[in-house]
Amino acid sequence: MSAESAKIHFVGVGGVGMGSLAEALAAAGHKVTGSDGALYDPMKSVLAKANVQMIEGFSADTVDKLKPDVVVIGNVVRKENPEAAAWIRKGVPFVSFPEAVRRFLIEDRTSVVCSGTHGKTTTTTWISFLLDRLGLNPSYLIGGVPHDLERGSRKTDGKIFVGEGDEYDSAFFDKGAKFLHYKPDTLIISGVEFDHADIYRDLEHVKESFRSVISLLPGDGLLIARYDIPTVMELVTDALCPVQTFGESPQAMWSLGKTTKGA
């Protein structure tokens, strides 16, 4: 299969992440289709504008109507889903959402991954916007609909990828965190708290996932960590690459100071 001209079908295309990726791949020249139980705006309009063929409802009959090269199965789709089960039985190659991001968006680009319990979408948007305005033409994946960028996700000829790194699981067939697929060169951690009680036992379990993604950083990579949060700074000690810190504390390498109006 040519990565430049693939036929890609999304099971669970209505979610913000899945829909944004589908939009970006359609804009990049792929033939993209998608199904979901129900489709709502803003993603419904976004996908229609991108000429993504949408199928409402999950049905095993869909496998007889489409002939994709690969099927992307979203993490909200369960193994009992009739369409997902039919694709797997038919033997069509399938991947999770984060695997598709790595395969079609990241490829050999320098990967900047924005992680943390809170602030991922905002941080990813800021960095993508700034790199775009600096003329670096980044590829990016934002888990939302940004106001000042053309779309929530895009693939370019640029050498940088900026992505929102989620610690939630990847799919029913891959219970590892999504960000473990994004091969980070730079990793930003804005905060670590206990979250996603349906897949994590406690805070220590959450920290295990963050330790795993930190371990993926190359020796010449960069970890950017929130200094004001003890949980984050505890994880920093595991890094084998340079570390920079940010926060409100004057002890952080990058410190947010008070501003005076008119100064």
Quick one: what percent of the chain has pLDDT higher than 90?
84
Give the pTM.
0.92
Give pLDDT, residue 195. Answer: 84
Q: What is the model's pLDDT at position 258?
A: 66
224 pairs with which residues across the strands?
A: 188, 244
**Which segments in the chain show pLDDT lower than 70?**
1-4, 258-263
Structure tokens at 203: 């805070």
Residue 126 CB burial class (10 angstroms; 0-12, 13-18, ≥19): middle
| CATH code at 107-255 | 3.40.1190.10
Domain definitions of the chain by residue range: 7-92, 107-255
Q: What are phi and psi of 160, to 5 degrees?
A: -120, 140
The owner of tokens 């190659």 is 93
pLDDT digits (tens, 9 = 90+) for 16-36: 899 999 999 999 999 999 999
Pairing mode, strands 70-73 and 7-11: parallel
- With beta carbons less than 8 A apart as the criterion, state whether 103 and 3 touch: yes
Query: What single DSSP character describes residue 5?
Result: S
CATH topology of domain 7-92: Rossmann fold (3.40.50)
The whole-number pLDDT of residue 2 equals 44
